[in-house]
Amino acid sequence: MNIVCQFRNMSVSNKFKTLFFPIILISLIYIFTFFLTVSQTMKSISFMKERAFLGATYAKEIELSIIHIQHWLVNISATRGKDGLDEGFKKAVEAAKCVTEYLSKYEELAKNEPDTLKQLVEIKKKFAPYYSMGTSMAQIYVDLGPDVGNIYMAEFNKNAADLTIALNKLGSESQELYNKTVNDLEEYSRNRITLVTAFSIIIIGFVLFAYFVLNRTIIKQIKKTSHVLKDILEGQRDFTQRIEVDRIDELGEMAKHVNNFFSYMQGILTEVKESSVKVKNFSSDLSSIASGSVVGISHINTAMGEVVKGTTSQSKNIQDATISLDELTIMIAKIASGAEEQNLNSEKTMSVAKQSNEAMIEISTFATNQAASVEKVMVIVSEMTRALGQAANDTSKAAANSKQTRDIALNGEQILAETVDGMDRIKEKVLIAADKITELGKNSMKIGEIIDVIDDIAGQTNLLALNAAIEAARAGEHGRGFAVVADEVRKLAEKSSKATKEIAILIKSIQEATDIAVNFMNEGTSEVHSGALLVNQTRQAMVSIINAVRDTVSQIESISAATEQMAASSNEVAQNVKNLSEMAGSSTASVEEVAASSEGVVQSILTVYKIAKDSASISEEMVKKMGNFSGQILSILSVAEDNSSIAEETTASTEEITSSVNMIKESANDVADLAVKLHDSISQFKM
């Protein structure tokens, strides 16, 4: 029992050494014995092949060659070499050479065998007289005939019998040596087979014993560990289970490390699971923020569309106002021209009135000399009549021009009223656009804050994915799936971070464009306000012009009526001038009245002249102011066009922001899906 405990607490390498050292030792002995057996067998086979077999072969060849010699010599003795049958000597010589050759080979083969060499020497001694007697006998048969040859035949047969006995002995000994060698080889092989079988049984027994011991002490523990690991990979994926450790060898250390690894992975998976839930929540929040951003940006797009429409309407209204101002300027120019013409007519009328006044004074002065100056009076009356007719025509034209000026002024007042209304609408649109753009700036600031939050979330997600990838790399093969998911999360986090940076750049450009648009809107608002003040001043001036023109028309109508009345009176004077002499007393009073009337006419004409001059100066001032106002309107038009282009650029930027936010939303959804997959994958493990 003590030995079993000591063996159980041995290290795996010492267990293998203890179990396999006897097996290796027996195997080495077995291999050494096997090589000895093979070597001895090879030697026996070599001896059998090179000595026993060749010796028997050489003995057989010698025996056959001697038989051939006897055959050929007996044959020639019987035929006596007649009828071409004399080749027996030649064949006998060849056979004798074979005997000598094989005897030499046999002697070389058995050079270390004295008994065999002795037999070979004896055969040589017997072969020489045998061959000599045989050739002599055959020659005697050929030369002397059978009677003499038969005498030698008996001795030849005796030599042949002795030689045959010696050859049979040599052949039997060679065959016995061959058979003995084969039998020895078979016996040796059987013994070696028995020995090899015994060694094999012993080795197999030790191997089975080692397998039994290893199975109980090592393989069983390995199977436990493999079963637990297989359950992790293919079973319930329970990281709470632990391997029972009841040994202190390498397998016990491995089981401890596996248990520590399970504890470590349990903690990591718990953290990853919690992180996946956080990532899922962050992704949901990011998706909600992105959805809110899309809604906000859609509102911005709507507001910017209204701004674009407002600026377009503003530009159209300003263009209409510009056209109306041009028409008004033309009308005011016509008013100025009419005023100048009226001024000229007033100067002419005033000149005529002065002449008439001087004439009346001269008439009054020389009224007492009427009788003498009737002819002069008639001439003067004629001139006065023509002058009054001309004055009547001029005053009629001045009245018509004054009425036209009044109508133009009224039309200008209506146009200015419409211009004021258009400017008010422009001012309202510009203020609305300024409010929308200010709101856009505030929303872009909020989007910037949201983007910062998204960027922080992406950075935290990237760190979590990096930590998960590091822990998965530490887990080795078992953490490869986590490493792939962590890498995908990291890529999506980097993509989200990159998208947020691009959106931040776009938001910054939108904020800058919004600031510029707000500045332009403020400038446009101030310009519109200034334009509205100028238009109101122009309207007030136009009202003053209209009132002055109305007064002028009224006065000119009065002058025209008075002039017509004077023309009628002058006609009556011309008709009644012949009766001047009779009406001298009354003529003086009439002349005085005419003089007084002439002075009234002069005063009226001076008033008309002054009004016409004031009208001309007011018209010129109105033309200048309308020029300035037209320039202001063009500036407002330029600002409105700039606002329209900025609004369009802002709309394009918001569309790009919408696209980027949609990309963030898609990325957030992808991250959420990956987080769900990661959570589902981790949920497969029991922690």
The answer to whether residue 121 scores a pLDDT higher than 70 is yes
The enclosing domain of 82 has a CATH number of 1.20.120.1730
The answer to whether residue 190 scores a pLDDT higher than 50 is yes
* Local confidence band at 351 (pLDDT 50, 70, 90 cut-offs): low
Domain assignment present for residue 224? The answer is no
pLDDT of residue 595: 47
In the chain, % of residues over pLDDT 90: 0
pLDDT of residue 678: 67
Among 82-96, 125-139, 457-471, 668-682, top mean pLDDT goes to 125-139
pLDDT of residue 154: 78
Looking at 186, 208, 230, the residue that finishes a domain is 208
Domain assignment present for residue 244? The answer is no
Alpha carbons 536 and 477: distance in angstroms, whole number: 86
CA atoms within 13 A on the CB side of 139: 9
The whole-model pTM stands at 0.34
Q: What is the pLDDT of residues 550-582, one digit of tens each?
A: 776 676 667 667 656 755 655 665 565 466 456
Alpha carbons 349 and 359: distance in angstroms, whole number: 15
Kindly state the average pLDDT of the residues 232-242. Answer: 74
Cβ-contact 266, 641 below 8 angstroms: no
349 burial type by CB count under 10 A (0-12 exposed, 13-18 middle, 19+ buried): buried
Domain ranges, residue 394: 260-683
The answer to whether residue 535 scores a pLDDT higher than 60 is no
The answer to whether residue 60 scores a pLDDT higher than 80 is yes
Q: Same domain, yes or no, for 189 and 268?
A: no
Domain assignment present for residue 449? The answer is yes
Q: What is the pLDDT of residues 13-36, one digit of tens each?
A: 776 777 777 878 877 887 877 777
Q: Same domain, yes or no, for 183 and 321?
A: no
Residue type, 601: V
Q: Same domain, yes or no, for 341 and 204?
A: no
pLDDT of residue 407: 77
Phi, psi for 238 (deg, rounded to 5): -95, 110
Looking at 190, 208, 226, the residue that finishes a domain is 208
Residues 6+ apart with CB under 8 A from 364: 588, 591, 592, 595
Q: Compare 417 and 620 and report the one with higher pLDDT.
A: 417
Q: Same domain, yes or no, for 265 and 156?
A: no
Residues 6+ apart with CB under 8 A from 576: 583
Phi-psi sector, 11: left (phi>0), alpha (psi -120 to 50), beta:
beta
The enclosing domain of 290 has a CATH number of 1.10.287.950
The answer to whether residue 455 scores a pLDDT higher than 60 is yes
Q: What is the pLDDT of residues 650-663, one digit of tens each?
A: 566 667 656 765 77
Tally of structural domains, the chain: 2
Q: Same domain, yes or no, for 395 and 267?
A: yes
pLDDT of residue 473: 64
Kindly state the average pLDDT of the residues 131-153. Answer: 82
Q: Same domain, yes or no, for 567 and 636?
A: yes
Alpha carbons 346 and 613: distance in angstroms, whole number: 10
The answer to whether residue 534 scores a pLDDT higher than 60 is yes
CA–CA distances in Å: residue 496 to residues 290, 455, 462:
12, 7, 10
Residues 6+ apart with CB under 8 A from 111: 117
Looking at 164, 188, 208, the residue that finishes a domain is 208
The answer to whether residue 533 scores a pLDDT higher than 50 is yes
Alpha carbons 583 and 588: distance in angstroms, whole number: 9
Q: Same domain, yes or no, for 177 and 285?
A: no
Domain assignment present for residue 514? The answer is yes
Give SS3 for 82: coil
Q: What is the pLDDT of residues 474-511, one digit of tens each?
A: 676 666 676 777 777 778 777 877 777 777 787 777 67
* DSSP codes of every residue in 235-296: S--BTT--------SHHHHHHHHHHHHHHHHHHHHHHHHHHHHHHHHHHHHHHHHHHHHHHH
What letter would DSSP give residue 538? H
Kindly state the average pLDDT of the residues 170-178. Answer: 77
* Local confidence band at 234 (pLDDT 50, 70, 90 cut-offs): confident
Q: Compare 535 and 282 and report the one with higher pLDDT.
A: 282
Q: Compare 206 and 612 and report the one with higher pLDDT.
A: 206
The answer to whether residue 611 scores a pLDDT higher than 60 is no
Domain assignment present for residue 229? The answer is no
E-strand spans in 245-354? none
Kindly state the average pLDDT of the residues 603-616. Answer: 56
pLDDT of residue 360: 47
Domain assignment present for residue 115? The answer is yes
Residue type, 430: V
Q: Same domain, yes or no, for 423 and 552?
A: yes
Residues 6+ apart with CB under 8 A from 43: none
Q: Same domain, yes or no, for 19 and 145?
A: yes
Q: Same domain, yes or no, for 299 and 166?
A: no
Q: What is the pLDDT of residues 82-106, one digit of tens each?
A: 665 567 788 888 988 998 999 889 8
* Local confidence band at 607 (pLDDT 50, 70, 90 cut-offs): low
Alpha carbons 276 and 676: distance in angstroms, whole number: 7
pLDDT of residue 101: 92
pLDDT of residue 488: 79
Q: Same domain, yes or no, for 183 and 292?
A: no
The answer to whether residue 346 scores a pLDDT higher than 60 is no
Least confident of 199-208, 262-271, 332-341, 561-570: 332-341
Domain assignment present for residue 423? The answer is yes
Domain assignment present for residue 239? The answer is no
The answer to whether residue 584 scores a pLDDT higher than 50 is no
Residues listed for the chain? 687
Structural tokens at position 496: 């989200």
Structural tokens at position 207: 């191997």
The answer to whether residue 435 scores a pLDDT higher than 80 is no
> For the chain, what is the mean pLDDT?
70
Phi, psi for 686 (deg, rounded to 5): -85, 120
Kindly state the average pLDDT of the residues 190-212. Answer: 82
pLDDT of residue 97: 92
- Helices vs strands, H then E, count in the chain: 11, 0
Q: Same domain, yes or no, for 292 and 173?
A: no
Least confident of 82-86, 202-206, 215-219: 82-86
pLDDT of residue 598: 45
